[in-house]
Structure 1
């Protein structure tokens, strides 16, 4: 029950009852409700813009954002691991693989270079974490570029390895007659006395004395280019092209075990010792050619001689005696 209010009337010198109009009551009630509604709306806006109250959708988005941040941290750690592994591979590539195969190392600037030109990351700008996203994207692209460069480098190293393996197999690296079958090393490369004219002249190969029919072996991989007796002085002889500018010649044979055009490998039996052509006694005259010039074969026996055997061979090869052809 509402209280009755009075006011003092000086004209009548008495208290009179205050009468309220109904329209005024309705207005006051309406203003109260409007004020309450405004305050409630403002309060709701305030709450919605703070962390005190979140809608289910906002809570879901927050959880999703935290998950993305966690995944981003994992991505950064994985990129760090990738960078460490790549750095290790690059170090071995430059300082071991490329050094071994005598290839120029890849400059550090080339491996670490970024991407110039237009702004590649404009679409990533304008977000709360734009700097972090752009930095990670740059790192990832540089890692991708490093991997491409390293992949190409390893492809090159593989080709160099295959080529070097072929090269090492092709070089005339063994003595064409085994020491078990060798009587003696009769004459070496250099100025020698001719057995027929007794005149001092250049002897372009090495003479290995062995009984007639002693096996002769290819000193390196290659292709037989000649197996005939149509070259003056050599008698029955074989020539093998080893590639890389190397050629070997085996002269004064008694018979062949190969034909022209045949491919041979180091250690294959190619013929037998004889004394055909301009020869004083059964022996093998052996020559090594490089880029069209005859060179000293003494430098090409590292494949099947011990240090002591090579020292003994070198001693006899340097003696200026009489050759056998």
Structure 2
């Protein structure tokens, strides 16, 4: 029940009902509402200044996690960059120097891969400074790694080509000669066994029992396999490519055939005494660019430094050749 207020009117000397005008009541209501709004805003400001909402707490935690993860990623990027620098250094200073190939500048690695646009998709991740910075570093590292992979693919091909090239260079003795006792005559001017005068001996003579296996000294293709009327008797000639060719003479029996591809160490015939020969032996020649060279420098797969020194002294003796 609404309370009714009275006041004492001194003019009429009696109590009269107190009635508040509508205008005053409206002003009071407006003042109350205004005060409530101001008070609410103050409370709201204080609350949101010092007290986080659940959503703000979640966002704040996510932000902290992002900062922490960014620090971890940044450290990892530094490590990867150092590893990338080491790989690039090995590529330039070690691997490519082995194959006598021109080093690749790091700027070329980046310029070459900038033509590819796939990595740019990372830039759609966001627009904050952290994301932009991380994206830029990832782009740079990804470009360098991609180009480094391309470089290593080229080096792998160089290795294969180098292996093939090395396999085609004469590198062993044509017969088994572990004790170095089978060198009968070396390269150079020697006494001819038939004519007894000094003549150019363009190969090395290896003495061995009749039927001893003769080995191809490098990979190649047989270009001649048969009897030769020029004095070598049964001979085999192998073209190794890369300007190398070898000749094996005075065989008892030929095993290789023309057009056959042979590997280093494969038996191509057997020691004999055919042609212009004074006893069972293998006459062995190495040709480079069509010119005979001293075969003694092409036994590096067979000999230790001490054995090579001993072989040089044996081959240098001015004795009589066997053909």
TM (normalized to structure 2)? Answer: 0.81
Give the deviation of 1:140 after TM superposition: 0.6
Structure 1 residues 316 and 182, CA gap change in structure 2 (3 angstroms): closer
2:192–2:320 Cα contact (<8 Å) kept: yes
Give the deviation of 1:209 after TM superposition: 2.5
**Partner deviation per Cα, 1:97-132 (whole Å, 9 max, x = no partner):** 33333333332433566969x9x79x77995xx333
**Matches for 1:252-271 after TM superposition, within 5 Å:** 252-271=250-269
Structure 1 residues 242 and 26, CA gap change in structure 2 (3 angstroms): same
**Structure 1 position 300 matched with structure 2 position 295:** no
Q: 1:156 aligns with which of 154, 157, 160?
A: 154
1:124–1:133 Cα contact (<8 Å) kept: no
Bigger mean CA offset, 189-198 vs 28-37:
189-198
Structure 1 residues 144 and 227, CA gap change in structure 2 (3 angstroms): same
SS of residue in 2 equivalent to 1:302? coil
- The residue number in structure 1 matching 2:280 is 282
Structure 1 residues 286 and 75, CA gap change in structure 2 (3 angstroms): same
- The residue number in structure 2 matching 1:170 is 168
Q: 1:143 aligns with which of 137, 141, 144?
A: 141
SS of residue in 2 equivalent to 1:319? coil
1:234–1:252 Cα contact (<8 Å) kept: yes
2:180–2:311 Cα contact (<8 Å) kept: no
**Structure 1 position 34 matched with structure 2 position 33:** yes
**Partner deviation per Cα, 1:295-317 (whole Å, 9 max, x = no partner):** 11010112223444333321232
SS of residue in 2 equivalent to 1:179? coil
Q: 1:229 aligns with which of 212, 227, 240?
A: 227
Structure 1 residues 70 and 312, CA gap change in structure 2 (3 angstroms): closer
Q: 1:59 aligns with which of 57, 60, 84?
A: 57
SS of residue in 1 equivalent to 2:57? helix
Give the deviation of 1:181 after TM superposition: 9.1
Structure 1 residues 282 and 78, CA gap change in structure 2 (3 angstroms): same
**Partner deviation per Cα, 1:201-220 (whole Å, 9 max, x = no partner):** 43221122333322212212
SS of residue in 2 equivalent to 1:216? strand
For 1:74 and 1:306, locate their aligned partners in 2 and report how far apart those are by CA, in whole Å.
54
TM (normalized to structure 1)? Answer: 0.80
SS of residue in 2 equivalent to 1:236? strand
Give the deviation of 1:274 after TM superposition: 1.8
Give the deviation of 1:257 after TM superposition: 2.0
Q: Which runs of 5+ in 1 are unaligned?
A: none
Structure 1 residues 279 and 143, CA gap change in structure 2 (3 angstroms): same
- The residue number in structure 2 matching 1:204 is 202
2:126–2:132 Cα contact (<8 Å) kept: no
Q: Which runs of 5+ in 2 are unaligned?
A: none
Structure 1 residues 20 and 226, CA gap change in structure 2 (3 angstroms): same
Structure 1 residues 185 and 115, CA gap change in structure 2 (3 angstroms): closer
